[in-house]
Amino acid sequence: MNKSRTHTLLLASVSLGLAISVSTAVPTVQAQSLLERLFKGPSAKNKQRRAGQSQISSKTRSKPKAVKRAVIKGHTYFTYKAKPLKSAGLATLASLSMPMAASGSDSGDDQNGGMAAGSSDFIAAAKYLEGFSLLADQSLSKAVIAQYKSKPEFIWVKDKQPTAAAEAVLEVLKDADSVGLKAQEYIITEVPADTSGLSEEARMEQLIKFELSLTMRALRYAQDARFGRIDPNKLSEYHYFPDRKINSAKMLEDMLSADDAAQYLASLSPQNEAFQALKAELAVSRNDTPVEDPIIIKAGTFIRPGNSNPELANVVRGIKRFGSAELVAKYQSLFESYDGSPDYNEPIVALVKDFQRENKLNAQGYIGRQTIGVIADRTPTNKVASILYSMERLRWHPSNFGSRYVFINTAAFRATYYNDSKEELSMDVIVGKRSNQTNFFYDEIERVVYNPYWGVPRTILVNVMLPKLRRDPAYFDKNGYEMTNRAGVRVASASVDWNSVGANFGYNVRQKPSSRNALGTLKILFPNKFVVYMHDTPARSLFNNVARAFSYGCIRLKRPQEMAAAVLGTTKEQVWARINKGKNATQNLKQKIPVYVAYFTAWPDAEGNVKYFKDHYGRDGYLKKAMDKTTAARGAAS
């Protein structure tokens, strides 16, 4: 086809009102075919050209432009590395005895810069530290060595015997298991026994090694009790807590200056009611049902009413053991008469439904993963583990939550508002799905936004919206979204070639306030690096589910207007009045209040009874690995 004929045909097409756009990416044959169909078929010359081109290898044909793959990866879990321990370098203290050894004196006053006479025993015994090794955190070692260099005297020994204060501190260390720590990590290997039969030198060697061991282990205990054994920020990108600025020298100074060192150490564990409830539950659970009678239900068991399954006997045993006292009393006659039959009949169905109700499961009578999971999680071993994880996690928080705050336990799908340290409002929530987990951190609530816009996060734009836009470029235009480019200019989504857009999205998108808005009528903001907040939702039916992990990370509230009224210190009616104005508006809190976005698989209710929740994010497993690695790293020091 020559230039003259092509020009004529294009003019003809315009005059006919036809808009023909031939992309450079479209093969020439395809473009000509389009024109040929419009104008009654090809010429003889074109037929010859097409016949020749049909012989061209498929390898030489133009390929459609590849569509960019675009995915923004979510947060990840790390391989936890326990803090390495190093030799405390006690040989530097051994050198304290060198001036005295050279002088042949034991008075210590003149030869050691006018130090108190009480320091002479320590200086004389310091030579026995040569070759004595203790593994410890480096900052801890430095603090201890600096203490004895500046004041080379016994702290825990008097009249060549351990003091009453030393004995009291030893008792605290021995009892570490009761507060969720591991007593084996604070063992003192050089505890003086009866020294009456020892020589003076042997006695002093034993006493100075005891002295240094006790100071090192007591300071390790202090740090663990206050900050936890694990650095949460090294567990995953989901965890975000203030850096653990552990000042070993200050903690040692505080311990040694306290009127009662043992009491000081005991005070470092969280002092809130939740920790005390967990501590009490731990003591009970460790003495719970004998481990020689475990209840094991075959994996994959699923029993419908009317079915027959040999695992039913284990299910009934589990309900009897782990059901509430009221439930067990109600079905006492059933438990007594049950002979282990595999038949899942009506009386047992009624028992199972009641057990499901008290554990907040769907009470349909089907025995599956969730019901069996409750029984498995209640075994003594699993209960103790959950309590220990919760006690460790509490150490990452302030010891005192405050008198007025919001606590969100994402493992329990629950948000609770506390006023004057008492539970005043509690409701179901929807949290992030496993692939978009709600983060673990704490912050402060600052404001409430009525009839909010939803600024769509880039991860959702790329991972969720982009595939929809490739199927329907007008998706944003049709569903109430506003899109602007980086210059702030409004752009219609239908005008964009979405196949050419990748992870570097290049547009800002927000959904206008409406009944279809993903945030519903309001959102409650506590600005944070994760852009996580509480909000309303139009998807109310999702609250009917027991496991409510459906969001992309934010917390959807079942009764958002009530929570907004609580944090604002106003009434639900006033909140609704602002919503009903239909305008996007913001109301700041008179005073910011703490919010704890947490994850606890064991947590006390308002009455102080510890409840257990499924580890739906798998975080207990990661914490266990970190705790085991810490114990292994410290093993040599024991």
User: Helix 369-377 vs helix 312-322: angle between axes, to the nearest 10 degrees?
Assistant: 50
Asked whether residue 53 falls in the same domain as residue 93, the answer is: no
As a whole number, mean pLDDT of residues 227-250 equals: 95
Asked whether residue 27 falls in the same domain as residue 119, the answer is: no
Q: What is each CA distance from 626 to 82, 230, 236, 270, 578, in whole angstroms? A: 7, 7, 11, 21, 48
Is residue 419 assigned to a domain? yes
Q: What is the 3-state secondary structure (H, E, C) of 154-165?
A: CCCEECCEECHH
The domain containing residue 464 runs over which residues? 398-615
Residue 599 DSSP symbol: -
The structure tokens listed for 52 are 């020749």
Asked whether residue 107 falls in the same domain as residue 174, the answer is: yes
Asked whether residue 37 falls in the same domain as residue 178, the answer is: no
Rounded Cα gap, residues 389 and 597, in angstroms: 16
pLDDT tens, residue by residue, 578-632: 999 999 999 999 999 999 999 999 999 999 999 988 899 999 999 999 999 999 9
Domain boundary among 213, 238, 269: 269
CB-CB contact of 159 with 192 (8 Å):
no
Rounded Cα gap, residues 623 and 615, in angstroms: 11
Calculate what percentage of the chain has a pLDDT beyond 70: 84
Beta-bridged to residue 417, according to DSSP, are: 406, 425
Q: What is each CA distance from 311 to 292, 347, 377, in whole angstroms? A: 19, 17, 17
Q: What is the pLDDT of residue 299?
A: 85
- Residues 83-101 as b/e (b if ≥16 CB within 10 A, e otherwise) read eebeebebeebbebbeebe
CB-CB contact of 214 with 166 (8 Å):
yes
Asked whether residue 112 falls in the same domain as residue 11, the answer is: no
As a whole number, mean pLDDT of residues 319-346 equals: 94
CB-CB contact of 535 with 560 (8 Å):
yes
Is residue 600 assigned to a domain? yes
Q: What is the pLDDT of residue 74?
A: 74
pLDDT tens, residue by residue, 31-41: 444 334 433 44
Is residue 294 assigned to a domain? no
Domain boundary among 254, 269, 284: 269
Q: What is the pLDDT of residue 26?
A: 39
As a whole number, mean pLDDT of residues 268-289 equals: 91
R_g (Cα) of the chain, nearest Å:
35
Q: What is each CA distance from 197 to 191, 200, 203, 253, in whole angstroms? A: 16, 9, 9, 35
Is residue 523 assigned to a domain? yes
Question: Between 560 and 3, where is the model more confident?
Answer: 560
pLDDT band at 65 (very low <50, low <70, confident <90, very high): low
Asked whether residue 42 falls in the same domain as residue 94, the answer is: no
As a whole number, mean pLDDT of residues 163-183 equals: 96
Query: What DSSP string describes 400-446?
Result: ---SSEEEEETTTTEEEEEETTEEEEEEEEEEE-GGGPPPBEEEEEE
Asked whether residue 41 falls in the same domain as residue 103, the answer is: no
Asked whether residue 96 falls in the same domain as residue 212, the answer is: yes
The structure tokens listed for 364 are 């349909």
Q: What is the pLDDT of residue 16?
A: 36
As a whole number, mean pLDDT of residues 148-167 equals: 93
Domain boundary among 45, 60, 75: 60
End-to-end CA distance of the chain: 91
How many CB atoms neighbour CB 398 within 10 A?
14
Q: What is the pLDDT of residue 345?
A: 96
Q: What is the 3-state secondary structure (H, E, C) of 78-112?
A: CCCCCCCCEECCCHHHHHHHHHHHHHCCCCCCCCC
Q: Among 425, 396, 399, 400, which Cα is nearest to 524's?
A: 425
CB-CB contact of 604 with 273 (8 Å):
yes
Q: What is the pLDDT of residue 370?
A: 85
pLDDT tens, residue by residue, 435-491: 999 999 999 999 999 999 999 999 999 999 999 999 999 999 999 999 999 999 999
Asked whether residue 24 falls in the same domain as residue 95, the answer is: no
What count of Cα atoms within 13 Å lies in the side-chain half-sphere of residue 124? 19
Q: With 60 as the cut, is the pLDDT of residue 204 above it? A: yes
Q: With 50 as the cut, is the pLDDT of residue 495 above it? A: yes
Asked whether residue 33 falls in the same domain as residue 153, the answer is: no
Is residue 110 assigned to a domain? yes
Is residue 638 assigned to a domain? no
Is residue 51 assigned to a domain? yes
pLDDT band at 263 (very low <50, low <70, confident <90, very high): very high
CATH number at residue 414: 2.40.440.10
**Hey, CA dihedral for 320, 325, 326, 329, is it positive or negative?**
positive
The structure tokens listed for 592 are 């910011």
Element (H, E) at 372: helix 369-377
Q: What is the pLDDT of residue 289?
A: 54
Q: With 80 as the cut, is the pLDDT of residue 63 above it? A: no
Asked whether residue 222 falls in the same domain as residue 120, the answer is: yes
Q: What is each CA distance from 291 to 194, 278, 620, in whole angstroms? A: 39, 21, 21
CB-CB contact of 233 with 81 (8 Å):
no
When mean pLDDT is compared across 156-165, 242-251, 373-382, the lowest value belongs to: 373-382
Question: What is the tally of structural domains in the chain?
Answer: 3
Rounded Cα gap, residues 415 and 431, in angstroms: 10
pLDDT band at 108 (very low <50, low <70, confident <90, very high): very low
How high is the mean pLDDT of the chain? 86
Asked whether residue 98 falls in the same domain as residue 56, the answer is: no
Is residue 477 assigned to a domain? yes
The structure tokens listed for 305 are 């009413």
